[in-house]
Amino acid sequence: MRTFLRPTGFVDSPFGYDGKVARLAGGLNWFASVELIHPDGARELVAVEGIEARLDQAMAEIWDRIIAPRPPLILGQRTIRLDQPQVMGIVNVTPDSFSDGGQFADARAAAEAGARQSAAGAALIDVGGESTRPGAKDVWEGDEIERILPVVQQLAAGGTAVSIDTRKAAVIEAALGAGAGLVNDVSALTHDDRSAEVVAAAGVPVILMHHQGDPQSMQDAPRYADVLVKVYDWLEQRIAAAEAAGVARGNMLVDPGIGFGKSVAHNLELLNGLAIFHGLGCPLVLGASRKRMIGALSNEAPPDQRLAGSLVLALKAAEQGAQLIRVHDVPETVQALKIWRGLRDQALTPRVG
């Protein structure tokens, strides 16, 4: 049992607050307070000023991870800085994804969509060939490879940074061979016994996403005693397992898995407490674009009418230091983050005169 640390009390600028604020993960966010979540569930708000005196060894290690800068992602010839929020565009080459399933008639159309997202400002494009929405059925790896391979090849050949959204080792191998540079595994390397070995041997970054159950059952009354703590613990265990399998810790990113075995209330609690996951010491990925929770909170708006809600959640993620924000609507999200970045830049510019 241990105490968790959640950065909070965010401030616009650190100027004039020497020793009273700390920088979150080397990014553009500064915070003045920390919520301590104790083993008995009690919560305590403490100031950043003098916090080191309150920390035991385990808490001090978490604190060091919270404030440590995140090195850039190296994806082949591409470098993606993580000292600011970056957009990850979604291209689903599937007939049944919850939002854009069947949208792309062929690989060329999918690749062109990814190229447009890249031109609009996405730092990388996440290509998937299997839907993992609630109720989705497994796809044979051969079919999945046939769907994604030409798309990955075309995007990579055009200089686009590509990640592969899959749970299967054979698909990972095929995609990496075609030019993908990052693995996005919604099962956190638990679905396929070979996945961790393949990722470790390739030396590429991997996103470990929390989930509860499988796509067929994950939304059947999910329960958590404390969703922030349980998801944190689970991700920490997956980091340790991946490291034991040979994956370098510096190559791991984490995703709390919005909508994967969570109720609307669980998702909202995770989004409100998102900054706690910086204590894992890995870059933080947030994928909430067009998800069911937005419809649940907005008169059951269908997926193609959830842009405004998606933008709110993207900005919520940026405000809590998420480094990668995975979205369907790239131009709109890039614009929103540019305005957010302008506000941050102004706040971080020393006043003269």
CA angle 14, 20, 25 (to 5 degrees): 65
Phi, psi of 9 (to 5 degrees): 65, 50
In the set 291, 292, 306, 344, the catalytic residue is 291
Q: Does the pLDDT at position 75 exceed 60? A: yes
What is the DSSP secondary structure assignment for residue 351, as one 8-state letter? P
With a cut of 90, say whether residue 150 has pLDDT above it.
yes
Kind plus residue range of the DSSP H or E element containing 34: strand 30-37
Read off the pLDDT of residues 228-263 as tens digits, 9 standing for 90 and up.
999 999 999 999 999 999 999 999 999 999 999 999
Find the mean pLDDT for residues 172-187.
97
Q: Is 78 exposed, middle or buried (0-12, 13-18, 19+ CB in 10 A)?
A: middle
At residue 224's C-alpha, the angle toward residues 223 and 225, to 5°, is 130
Instruction: Give percent of the chain with pLDDT exceeding 90.
Output: 85
Of 23, 292, 326, 344, which residue is the catalytic one? Answer: 326
State the pLDDT confidence band at 189, using cuts at 50, 70 and 90: very high
The average pLDDT across 96-112 equals 70
Q: pLDDT per residue over 128-147, tens digit each?
A: 998 776 666 788 889 899 99
> 30-37 and 4-11 as β-strands: parallel, antiparallel, unpaired?
antiparallel
Q: What is the pLDDT of the chain when averaged over all its residues?
A: 93
- Cα–Cα distance measured from residue 296 to residue 155, given in angstroms and rounded to the nearest whole number: 35
H helices present in 97-247, as ranges: 107-119, 141-157, 169-178, 195-202, 227-244
Asked if 98 and 258 count as a contact pair (C-beta separation under 8 A), the reply is: no
Judged against a pLDDT cut of 80, whether residue 88 lies above it is answered with: yes
Task: Give pLDDT, residue 106.
Answer: 82
CATH code linked to domain 73-345: 3.20.20.20
Predicted local distance difference test score (pLDDT) of residue 38: 95
Cα 126-129-130 angle, rounded to 5 deg: 110
Structure tokens at 312: 């709110």
Helix or strand holding residue 283 (H, E): none
Q: Rounded CA gap, 72 and 91, in Å?
A: 23
Q: Is the pLDDT of residue 105 over 80?
A: no
Whether residue 219 is predicted with pLDDT greater than 70 in this model: the reply is: no
Between these two residues, 178 and 220, which has the higher pLDDT value? 178
341 counts as catalytic: no
Q: What whole-number distance in Å separates Cα of residue 261 and Cα of residue 275?
A: 20
Contact 285, 278 (CB under 8 A): no
Q: Where are the domains of the chain?
A: 4-67, 73-345
